[in-house]
Amino acid sequence: MKYWRVPLDSGEIQITRGRVHIIEDRCKGCGYCIEYCPREVLEFSKKFNAKGYHPPQVKNEDCLNCHYCELLCPEFAIYSEAAFGQ
């Protein structure tokens, strides 16, 4: 996200960070998490899982730990947890 100037409180705001975990063999490749991730963290991978679908893979470190993918995934195949030390 680009701002026209640096926000005055940017030094005080704590941004949460998360790490996405994907349980690849549960995925049925519906693409909900990839399409609706607000930070566009995910993309389809080239490889196949045990069921023959392309599971998502993490493409960048922008995850904010909003848990939306976890809530939207119909297969209980993706979740995020807080990441510290960044």
Partner 1 sequence: MKHDETAGMAHPLEDLVRMDRIPHIWCPGCGIGSVFTSCLTAVKQTNIPYNQFTMVSGIGCSGRGAGYINIDSFHTTHGRAIPFASGIKMARPDLNVIVFSGDGDLFAIGGNHFIHAARRNMDLTVICVNNLTYGMTGGQVAATTPFKARSSTTALGNPDTPFNLPLLAYASGATYVARWTMLHARDLADCIQEAILRRGFSFIEVLSPCPINYGRRNREKTLETLKKYHDNTIVKNGASPTELEVDFNKGVILGKFIDIEKPTCDEVYRRMYRPPEETTENRKSR
Structure token digits, residue 77: 């195949």
Nearer to partner 1, 2 or 46 (CB): 46
**C-alpha of 82 from chain center:** 12
User: Is 9 or 72 the residue whose CB approaches partner 1 more closely?
Assistant: 72
Distance CA 55, CA 47 (A): 8
Give counts: helices (H), strands (E), the chain: 2, 4
Minimal distance in Å, beta carbon 13 to partner 1? 22
| Alpha-carbon Rg for the chain in angstroms | 15
CB of 81 to partner 1, least distance (A): 8
What phi, psi does 40 have (nearest 5°)? 50, 55
What is the contact surface with partner 1 in residues (CB under 8 A)? 19, 21-26, 28-32, 35-36, 51, 53, 68, 70-77, 79, 81
Nearest CB to partner 1, comparing residues 7 and 71:
71
CB of 67 to partner 1, least distance (A): 9
